[in-house]
Amino acid sequence: MKTPLMLAACAALLASPALAYDRYAERPPVMVSPDLSAPWVLQLGRDPAEVAPRRQAREPKLRQVPPKAQQRAMQRRQANPAQPQLAALRAPEKRTVQPQMNPIYLPQQVAYDGGEKPGTIIIDTIENFLYLVEEGGQARRYGVGTGKPGFEWSGTHKVTAKREWPDWRPPAEMIARERAKGRVLPAKMEGGPDNPLGARALYLGSTLYRIHGTNQPWTIGGAVSSGCIRMRNEDVIELYERVPVGTKVIVR
């Protein structure tokens, strides 16, 4: 059952129209971004197509230094030697690489079925090998350098002398021949590592030829000499110790 007080309140409400904002005592405040330059604020009310894309940063331009200013800076650097300066770049120096000797010319034990007695030296100037005949059908084989074209020879001789680190006295014919090419040879060169005869020499009969070492081991295996038989220093030292004066030498 409705009381008289409730009826009076309903009547008052029906007498005046009701509005939505009448429910609030005061209107809520409008919130505005504190940064009015924010991109989203500046774009309010504008066509999105009018918004220009963000520009990329430009690279700074290098300031051109006048020639006179460059000259003055160069003079200041020259006047102050303590100031570090850039060194000029130089191309790397080319190194000369000596060719290597073919391993086939290293000393080896090989079979021998020839008719020469043990202790005999046989030199093959075609294959560039020296054989020292041994007992039991064996031979010690060494690689050698032999006479170049025009200086080949063959024959049978004996070892008439042996020298350690021999002096070199070029024959008169060789001196004249090399002088015609513009190269002056000494009349005598003392023995040593720079001597063309190397560490040892075995002289053959009354000829001018020798079995000797060399300071150019990469020439072993070729026709390179003026008739002498070249060996590696290590190999000619070994041969020198194994053969006496009077050993038979056959050059083929």
Terminal CA-to-CA distance of the chain, rounded, Å? 152
Cα 129 to Cα 141: distance, rounded to the nearest angstrom: 7
Task: Report pLDDT for 177.
Answer: 86
The model's pLDDT over 116-132, given as tens digits with 9 standing for 90+, comes to 999 999 999 999 999 99
DSSP lists the bridge partners of residue 250 as 122, 156
Task: Report pLDDT for 84.
Answer: 47
The model's pLDDT over 67-111, given as tens digits with 9 standing for 90+, comes to 666 667 666 666 655 544 444 455 556 666 667 889 999 999 999
Pairing between strand 210-212 and 200-204?
A: antiparallel
The model's pLDDT over 183-235, given as tens digits with 9 standing for 90+, comes to 888 888 999 999 999 999 999 999 999 999 999 999 999 999 999 999 999 99
DSSP lists the bridge partners of residue 163 as 201
The model's pLDDT over 149-182, given as tens digits with 9 standing for 90+, comes to 999 999 999 999 999 999 988 888 888 988 898 8
> For the whole model, what pTM was predicted?
0.61
247, 121 contact by CB (below 8 A) = yes
- pLDDT greater at residue 9 or residue 213: 213
* Active site residues per annotation: 212, 228
Burial, 250: exposed, middle or buried (Cβ in 10 Å; 0-12, 13-18, 19+)?
middle
